[in-house]
Amino acid sequence: SEDSEIAAKRFLGSAYTEKAKVSIQAALQGGGPRSRRSKLLLDALDDVSKAIEYDASQIDAYTIKAQILIDRQEFETAREVLN
């Protein structure tokens, strides 16, 4: 049913947002090469983008996405995400 589909999309959006948080936490803990940090942040960016696709009401996903973009110095894109 339509309600089940909406619930499934919300669940997936939430799961991708949480997965991004785990990647960011691992990136911030440091240790290892900078390329590992960059890869983790790219993974997180991909995950929050998927979260937003599944559930546009995932406010945390927008915030996380903007923070990653700011870290990458993509200020205009970050601003667009937050608008």
pLDDT tens for residues 4-41?
999 999 999 999 999 999 999 998 887 678 888 889 99
Q: Do residues 51 and 16 touch, judged by C-beta distance below 8 A?
A: yes
What is the pLDDT at residue 31? Answer: 66
| Burial class of residue 72 in the structure, from the number of CB atoms within 10 Å of its CB (0-12 exposed, 13-18 middle, 19+ buried) | middle
pTM value is 0.88
Taking the C-alpha atoms of residue 6 and residue 35, their distance in angstroms, rounded to an integer, is: 37
Query: Average pLDDT of 53-82?
Result: 94
Triad 76, 80, 82: Cα angle to 5°: 120
What is the pLDDT at residue 32? Answer: 75
